[in-house]
Structure 1
Amino acid sequence: MNAVPGSGRLRADFSGHVVLVTGAAQGIGAAIARRFAQSGACVALADLNVDAAAAQADALVRAGGDARAYRVDAASRD
């Protein structure tokens, strides 16, 4: 995977791949999830705030992507 300089887009095609993005409910995590979805990935949005992650996933699906939200505490060992 390489970035296309100055474009803000990924060069790779992620069709057929699943990508897990933590902290995906807002900010940089949401932006990363959006870029992967635009590149064809099925995106798993993981966040403590599952409602906000679900809203992001819904927006990606409405835009033609494949996304699902999960409540995940990445700091927990359980």
Structure 2
Amino acid sequence: MNQEKDIDKIVLHYTDGSTKEVRKGFIAGITENELEETSEATFYMAHISGKDLATVVYAVMQLGIKLNLFGDLEESE
């Protein structure tokens, strides 16, 4: 039986050799297929559910707006 494993923590390794453990968080991995010119995102979450997941989605949307990835939202209204 193939049971999915829970992620306990995410460890960040910095270029200066230091590390930081994230016990509750979210990370996205991106795999690119250059032949098909596509990419696929895989999402990893540690101790995230319900309200936390909504917060992650909202924060990523706010980042997209801040980076102007959605164009000028005021023009479409």
TM-score with structure 1 setting the length: 0.30
Identify the structure with the greater strand proportion.
2
Q: Provide the TM-score with structure 2 as the length reference.
A: 0.30
Greater RCO (CA < 8 Å, at least 6 residues apart): 1
Higher CA-based Rg = 2
Determine which structure has the larger helix proportion and give its number.
1
